[in-house]
Amino acid sequence: MSMFCFFLFFMIFLVIAALIAVHTDNLLSSVICVGAIGFGGSLMFLFLRAPDIAITQIAVEVLGLIILIRATISRDKTFISGQREFFGIVFSVAVLFAISAVGLKGFEDLPEFGTPAFVAAAETQEIVASEDYIEQSLSRTGAANAVAAVILDWRAYDTLGEATVLFTSILGAVVILRKETRNSPETIK
Amino acid sequence: MLYAMCFFLFVIGLYCALVKKNMVKIVIGIMIMEYAVDLFLIMLGYRAGGVAPIVGKDEFDAVSGMVKSSFINASVDPLPQALVLTAIVISLGSLSLMISICIRTYEKYGTFDITEIRRLKG
């Protein structure tokens, strides 16, 4: 129960940081609030017994903050006045309420917090993948860390696809940010 | 309750992405949505009083070569952790792509305001 209250306070902190990030006018403070969400989330992963995720989240968060600050520093002169058109806002808020209603209905079927979803599923099904991963990852792959066994052995093709997606997105960023094209007049001369 | 808070975080991000006019704010909204989904998936695999899915020396039975049942009944779910690890790394790639689009647009139009950019085009 005490752990539940602890997580609840953490979630309240994250929600407050998100609200400030959304509502502040200054882009730089907004980016700093995103950093607060990222590092707070990383701490929360640590207490949710996911140390691998926590380490990755810290590394990714530092890089992401550098990228975001690169975009906002000396460029936050943009003066935004007013909101979008009235009809657009009304439509978006209506969509938000519809999604919230559907989503909150979906939470009714979930097991209580503290019971993993795979334990609840094991009562009705014979084969549950997560149980096999916990039981057999050491004997069949030789990795003591079940998460490493899943991403590097059981689902290695998934990790290959991830590397491909990452490479493609970086390629796209390089193409977009490139100043001189190959056929520009300067290079022809 | 915690799931509902996670969903509230997601809705805040969605609101930011739908309503705000600043391009960087839209990117920030998408990032908040990513954090919320990652947190939700990890929470779904959490076991109260559980341990991280890493087999220690005491939890391993050297004779039979299998892990002990005390570990099997205490470990949190490793599957969402592995998939969220993938999603976090991919979110970095998509963030860099979105931010490079923002920087390029700023160089071309001199503003982050998306309604302003639309007006210049028409």
Return the H-helix or E-strand segment holding B61.
Answer: strand B60-61
Examine residue A34 and state whether it is found in any structural domain, yes or no: yes
The residues that bridge with B67 in the sheet, in sequence order, are B60
In a domain, A88, yes or no: no
CA dihedral A97, A98, A103, A109 (to 10 degrees): 120
Of B3, B22, B46, the CB nearest to A110: B3
pLDDT tens digits, B64-104: 777 778 888 888 889 999 999 999 999 999 999 999 999 88
Antiparallel, parallel or unpaired: β B60-61 and B66-67: antiparallel
pLDDT at A77: 63
A23 lies in a domain?
A: yes
- A56 occurs within a structural domain: yes
Q: How far apart, in whole angstroms, are the C-alpha atoms of residue A90 and residue A33? A: 27
pLDDT of residue A32: 92
Residue in chain A lying closest to B45 (CA): A116
Q: pLDDT value at position A78?
A: 59
Please tell me the total count of domains within chain A.
1
Whether A176 sits inside 8 A of B25 (CB atoms) is no
Contacts of A124 (CB under 8 A, 6+ apart): none
Assess whether pLDDT exceeds 60 at residue B5.
yes
Give residue A186's pLDDT: 63
Has residue A97 been placed in a domain?
A: no
| Prediction ipTM score | 0.88
Residue B51: is its pLDDT beyond 60? yes
At residue A35, the pLDDT reads 93
Instruction: Answer whether B35 sits within 8 Å of A38, measured CB to CB.
Output: yes
Regarding predicted confidence, which is higher, A11 or B116? A11
CA B78: distance to chain centroid? 16
User: What does the mean pLDDT of chain B come to?
Assistant: 87
Say if A57 falls within a structural domain.
yes
Mean pLDDT of B14-42: 91
Which of B15, B24, B50 has the CB atom closest to A49's CB atom? B50
The rounded distance, in Å, linking the Cα atoms of A114 and A183 is 60
**Could you tell me the residue range of the domain that residue A8 belongs to?**
1-75
- Domains assigned to chain B: 2-121 (1.10.287.3510)
B-chain CB neighbours of A51 within 8 Å are 52, 54
The predicted structure's pLDDT at residue A57: 93
CA distance A189 to chain B (A): 25
pLDDT for residue B122 is more than 70: no
pLDDT band, residue A185 (cuts 50/70/90): low
Looking at the domain assignment, is residue A16 inside a domain?
yes
pLDDT, tens digit, 9 for 90 and up, residues A21-51: 999 888 888 999 999 999 999 999 999 988 9
Q: Would the CB atoms of A22 and B24 count as touching at under 8 Å?
A: no
Question: Per-residue pLDDT for B41 more than 80?
Answer: yes
Instruction: Assess if residue A153 is contained within a domain.
Output: no
CB contact under 8 A, A84 and B19: yes
- pLDDT for B89 equals 92
Residue to substitute from B16, B72, B97, B120, interface A, most A β-carbons within 10 A? B97
Q: What is the pLDDT of residues A96-147, one digit of tens each?
A: 889 888 888 888 888 888 788 888 888 888 788 888 888 888 888 888 888 9
Among all residues of chain A, which has the CA nearest to that of B2? A8
Nearest Cα of chain B lies from the Cα of A58 at a distance, in angstroms, of: 10
Name every chain A residue with its beta carbon within 8 A of the beta carbon of B7: 100, 103-104, 107
pLDDT in tens, A144-168: 888 999 999 888 999 999 999 999 9
